[in-house]
Amino acid sequence: MTDFDWLRQRLGSAFGQFLSQAPELARLWGQWFDAVEGQPVPLARLEKPLREARLALVTTGGVHLRAQTPFDMHDSHGDPSYRVIPADTPVDELMITHDYYDHSDAERDLNILFPLELARELAAHGAIGGLGTCYSFMGHIEPPHVETLIRQTAPEVAGMLRQEQIDAVLLTPA
């Protein structure tokens, strides 16, 4: 990593942490985000009742298994890769690598960000038809990695969701 990359990463991290404390500024920043503006928005239909629907969770909060490679915090443009989180993963085997927001509360109770335990409960009680394999990204992704996300890693995850016959996906951000 060059000194310039290091500086960008540090500034990006500080900016992300600052946005956590300054939502109005974050909203202003959001107005500059136009990655897919003007493109049609797809809409699939959920055809079966919830009690029969297999759900999967996808988060962009930087969650991963302790045994997995952490997300890359050295690349100031982010990390478009993903981590596979099996549905039966014990929560104490999970951690968060994401320098761009304050995740101290999520580390106390992961359900506020990645509700794996609650979704397992809903499946056990028959409220949902089941919980499939879940996935995690690190949400701070800038060009050129946005292209990798859209063209490669997100389609890979979508393909696995379809292969596992997942009926619906709940996505949660950082």
Partner 1 sequence: MGLIARVIETFGIPTICVIGLREIAERVRPPRAIHLKWPFGHPLGEPGNRAQQLCVIYIALQALYTVRESGTIIDPGWRWRREEYEEPDRWDLP
- 81 Cβ contact list (under 8 Å, min separation 6): 71, 72, 137, 138, 153
Apex CA 98: angle with CA 15 and CA 30, to 5°? Answer: 45
Alpha carbons 166 and 158: distance in angstroms, whole number:
10
Give the one residue of 2, 3, 4, 43 binding partner 1; rule: CB under 8 A: 43
Residue numbers 59-98 binding partner 1 by CB under 8 A: 60-61
Q: To the nearest whole angstrom, how small is the minimum distance from the Cβ of residue 3 to partner 1?
A: 28
Q: To the nearest whole angstrom, how small is the minimum distance from the Cβ of residue 7 to partner 1?
A: 23
Alpha carbons 128 and 12: distance in angstroms, whole number:
39
Q: To the nearest whole angstrom, how small is the minimum distance from the Cβ of residue 132 to partner 1?
A: 11
Task: Find the largest Cα–Cα distance for the chain.
Answer: 54
74: its two tokens: 């050295």
Alpha carbons 140 and 167: distance in angstroms, whole number:
27
Give the one residue of 13, 20, 89, 148 binding partner 1; rule: CB under 8 A: 20
CB neighbourhood size of 152 (10 A): 13
DSSP class of residue 74 equals: S
Q: 23 or 90: whose CB is closer to partner 1?
A: 23
Q: Based on the shown chain and the rule CB under 8 A, indicate whether residue 155 belongs to the binding site for partner 1.
A: yes
Q: Based on the shown chain and the rule CB under 8 A, indicate whether residue 45 belongs to the binding site for partner 1.
A: yes
Q: Based on the shown chain and the rule CB under 8 A, indicate whether residue 144 belongs to the binding site for partner 1.
A: no
Q: To the nearest whole angstrom, how small is the minimum distance from the Cβ of residue 14 to partner 1?
A: 14
Task: Summarize as ranges the residues that interact with partner 1 (CB under 8 A).
Answer: 19-20, 23, 26-28, 30-31, 33-37, 40-46, 49-51, 55, 58, 60-61, 101-106, 108-109, 111-113, 115, 118-119, 122, 125, 127-128, 137, 139, 146, 149-150, 154-155, 157-159, 161-162, 166-174
